[in-house]
Amino acid sequence: QSALTQPASVSGSPAQSITISCTGTSDDVGTDNLVSWYQQYPGTAPKLIIYDTNKRPSGISDRFSGSKSGNTASLTISGLRAEDEADYFCCSYVDMTTVLFGGGTKLTVL
Amino acid sequence: QLHLQESGPRLVKPSETLSLICTVSGVSISDSTYYWSWIRRAPGKGLEWIGSMFYSGTTYYSSSLRSRVTISLDTSKNQFSLSLTSATPADTAVYYCARETRAYFYDNNDHKVGYNRFDPWGQGALVTVSS
């Protein structure tokens, strides 16, 4: 199976909201299985920011939210801040032998 | 506090075996709740799941790497390792180890719902495959 499709880049101004899409197929994102999202700053490890499609780990700002509809999952960041500038990856659990990541989206805060 | 740290050779010659160790502190890798996983990110590319291992020894590998990958646990040292044989320049990447939660449940409509998450991750180890 192929990697999930994310826009290579998105941008927004401070205080705005942006949404990053993650498109798969009816065999992965489009199933009942849940999706997770990761934030990665250059030179650092990825960090879990959304799990089970729409849940936030402890310590993650409620400005981050996740959803899924059909074959597309989405990450929305509201009240954009300069510190949100990073790479974002979606991840779809398919089955015990298949875990798919998106190609990643670079978020630029203008 | 849970911490993962990758270690191993950073330069591997083509056709040789890429080997990394992940040392875990703060929790026992024999904990039956979690899987222990490897993920990589090649330069300019996205993340790629390599494989995961349960404390019992059960392993799951990416279909694209299955013929070359082995993940194993050393519970006495609280470490798990990655071995990737017949390395090529295409295997040049930052390799991350991570703790993985994966399971499934049945929802209100009796549909099987699977899920996973990687948390936390190690800081990563850049491994270059070059002669």
pLDDT in tens, chain B (131 residues): 899 999 999 999 999 999 999 999 999 998 878 999 999 999 989 999 999 999 888 999 999 999 999 999 999 999 999 999 999 999 999 999 999 999 888 989 998 899 999 999 999 999 999 99
Put simply, the answer to whether B46 touches A96 (Cβ < 8 Å) is no
Query: What 8-state DSSP symbol labels residue B57?
Result: S
Per residue in A28-46, pLDDT tens?
Answer: 999 999 999 999 999 899 9
- At B104, list the tokens: 């499934």
**Which of A44, A93, A98 comes nearest B115 by C-beta?**
A93
User: Which residues in chain A have their CB less than 8 angstroms from residue B121's CB?
Assistant: 45-47
Put simply, the answer to whether B46 touches A102 (Cβ < 8 Å) is yes
Torsion on CA atoms B29, B101, A92, B59, rounded to nearest 10: 40
Q: pLDDT of chain A along its 110 residues, tens only?
A: 678 999 999 999 999 999 999 999 999 999 999 999 999 999 899 999 999 999 999 999 999 999 999 999 999 999 999 999 999 999 999 988 999 999 999 999 99
Interface residue ranges in chain B relative to chain A, Cβ cutoff 8 Å:
39, 45-49, 52, 60-63, 96, 102, 107, 111-124
Are the C-beta atoms of A6 and A104 separated by less than 8 Å?
Answer: yes
Distance CA A57, CA A48 (A): 7
Closest CA to A77 of A7, A13, A8, A4: A13
Which pLDDT belongs to residue B32? Answer: 78
φ, ψ of residue B91 to 5 degrees: the values are -90, 0
Cis peptide bond prior to A57, omega within 30° of 0? no
Per residue in B9-32, pLDDT tens?
Answer: 999 999 999 999 999 999 999 887
